[in-house]
Chain A
């Protein structure tokens, strides 16, 4: 039976690939250029926007996959973001020799160690979260919203119990502070690292989803989970795996978000959650590519409006969402059946 379900080559023929949304990001960036005026400021803002967008994408990708595969919307996703960030404060705290070292490679090892531990912890907690909270309410949307929201409250309070309710600074290691100068524009080093990391996560996700058998099953599950089950695959097990990976990605994103903001507070999960929801609505619930475009748009918008008109910064995201939904009511890349 498995012979019929081998990993395919290019997912779709180029002819029916929907390329229009891909233009949104460059078009937005170019449209804003004359408004901002100075190209160097524009470059700084654009890189900052892309970095923020990439971090948001890392967090949102897990949520949108979980929704697409199992029709479960996890309002508690924010807990994993905060958890990841707080674990990172602990890990970087016990490695002062590595973070304060002027050598870049030592700094990078410290950051990667923090990221790996954060991912492991967030993934493990995600496993428990799925088992205890989400599993009993499959297929009941109202209860899912309530239960995962309850999970979020409990998680946030537990974080306060462990790390205390106050704001904790999360300093970048020595070598990652400061900026590189490109032309007249100052680009912070960490933002470049964030873009790089986000890009890596996207490539890895895209590779797994389109080039491996697991990915094929996940995509098939998103399209029609009953059919995959009837072919003899245990979609539940697949779902648990996706949930754990999604939580781990949220933990990774949390570390990056914490380093980006340089402080972490227990409520950060709830704050980032709002951005994530806007992103996955824009992208189309369940679509990874859509989430990437949505995240980049939200990141760019936040930085451009933050510079041009700070007071409307949060509304710009809502305006963006309304505009996209007027164009495509089910998001940029709607997923079948959802």
Chain B
């Protein structure tokens, strides 16, 4: 069956999960028609970007079992690649392409260097070393203000065909004007779709099986004859490349990039939260988690505000429910999900389906 092949034989294996995924797919595919407002479309685009970013992190954390805190570094490299190329040179497709290729090569080399240097030792070393490197990189990006625009970041122009003022059709279709913005959204959509399918392909290939073997028992995998260091390094390089592409998508959508938008440690924490809550070791978990997270980030704060207003009689409760403290509740959810459902939402749904 073609669909089966497209999903690399890794079907959702739960009716509810299938339904959720289909709904999300349709929502994202038709977002410009369902929610034509600028804000709603930005939420959808952000969801697409996070899907790729989180799914690529899942390859590392969920499938290979290594924790990296440098994932946003590669995300940032992708975004800065586009930003620097398009702000220095003319806004042409050529400079855009050159920026993307340079960013990919830089990510490849960096991931290779970090992997070969620190994946030989235990996973815990890798987590600490990547944390240090990522923070150094963030400082570097804000220090080199001549290249990166420093703390202010870079505003840049993209080729005219992607501009929101560029109209492809005189008349709007179903009330939606077919502009460069519309085109950009669909570029993002199909890029995200292609990359999620590619990641599914990777994790369900023989290579992906070896990664899972390493995750389950490193010593045994080595004993069977797989070079653990090599597999781990390839996995971290692949994951870095996908993260770089997510960064490219971010830059295409925002036409701006700065240290806080793509490199900040908060994004790294968000990615970690999404992967765990969505379900580690299931690419689908990243999709569901990312969409839920972006919606929560955009709308949960309003809900908390309601709660905070309702609890205004009790100041401490109001402070706990303040919309600025939404990360607190996400953190609690994160800890609870590591304890009680380490396979996340997707694992939960699949277990239920298997029991029925």
Q: A: which residues have CB within 8 A of B?
A: 73, 75, 133, 136-137, 141-143, 145-147, 149-151, 153-154, 157-158, 160-161, 165, 270-271, 273-274, 277-278, 281, 285, 311, 313-315, 317-318, 321-322, 329-330
Those of B304-352 within 8 Å (CB) of chain A: 316, 319-320, 322, 324-325, 327-328, 330-332, 334-335, 338-339, 342
Which of B88-96, B127-135, B180-188, B220-228 touches A? B127-135
Which A residues are in CB contact (< 8 Å) with B325? Answer: 157, 160-161
CB of B272 closer than 8 Å to a CB of A: yes
Complex-state Cα separation, A158 to B123, whole angstroms: 29
Name the distance in Å between A311's Cβ and chain B's nearest Cβ: 5
Choose among B124, B269, B316 the residue with the greatest number of A CB atoms under 10 Å from its CB: B124
Other-chain residue from A133, A136, A141, A313 in contact with B124 (beta carbon distance below 8 A): A141
**Closest A residue, CB atoms, query B129:** A281
Task: Report A279 CB to chain B, min CB distance, Å.
Answer: 10
B265 at the A/B interface (Cβ < 8 Å)? Answer: yes
B123: chain A residues within 8 A (beta carbon): 141-142
SS class, residues of chain A in contact with chain B: helix
**Do the beta carbons of A165 and B335 come within 8 Å of each other?**
no
- Is B65 part of the binding interface, using a Cβ–Cβ cutoff of 8 Å? yes
Task: Kindly list chain B residues whose C-beta atoms are within 8 Å of the C-beta of A160.
Answer: 324-325
Interfacial chain B residues near A317, Cβ < 8 Å? 132, 136
Q: How far does the Cβ of B148 sit from chain A's closest Cβ, in whole Å?
A: 13
Distance of A71 from chain B, by nearest CB (Å): 9
Residues of B at the A interface (CB closer than 8 Å) are: 61, 65, 67, 117, 121-125, 127-129, 131-133, 135-136, 139-140, 143-144, 265, 269, 272-273, 276, 316, 319-320, 322, 324-325, 327-328, 330-332, 334-335, 338-339, 342
How far apart sit A141 and B319, CA to CA, in the bound complex (Å)? 34
30 chain-A/chain-B pairs, Cβ below 8 angstroms? A73-B124, A141-B124, A142-B61, A142-B67, A143-B338, A143-B342, A146-B276, A149-B269, A150-B335, A153-B273, A153-B327, A153-B328, A153-B330, A160-B325, A161-B319, A161-B322, A165-B324, A270-B265, A273-B131, A274-B131, A277-B131, A281-B128, A311-B144, A317-B132, A317-B136, A318-B132, A318-B133, A318-B136, A321-B132, A329-B121
In the docked arrangement, what's the CA distance between A330 and B342, Å?
31
B331 lies within 8 A of A153 (CB)? yes
Specify which chain A residues have a CB less than 8 angstroms from the CB of B127 in the assembled complex: 73, 75, 145
Question: Bound complex: CA of A314 vs CA of B128, how far in Å?
Answer: 15
A313 vs B135: C-alpha distance in the bound complex, in angstroms?
Answer: 12
CA distance A273 to B128 in the complex (A): 10
* CB neighbours of B124 from chain A (8 A): 73, 141, 145, 285
Question: B65 — which chain A residues lie within 8 A by C-beta?
Answer: 142
List A contacts of B136 (CB < 8 A).
314-315, 317-318
A153 touches B269 (CB 8 A): yes
A128 to chain B, nearest CB (A): 13
> Once bound together, how far apart are the Cα atoms of A270 and B143, in whole Å?
20
CA distance A274 to B173 in the complex (A): 52
Please measure, in the bound complex, the distance between the C-alpha atom of A274 and the C-alpha atom of B138, giving whole angstroms. 13
10 additional A-B pairs beyond A146-B338, A315-B140, beta carbons within 8 Å, are A142-B123, A143-B338, A143-B342, A146-B276, A149-B269, A157-B325, A311-B143, A311-B144, A313-B139, A314-B136
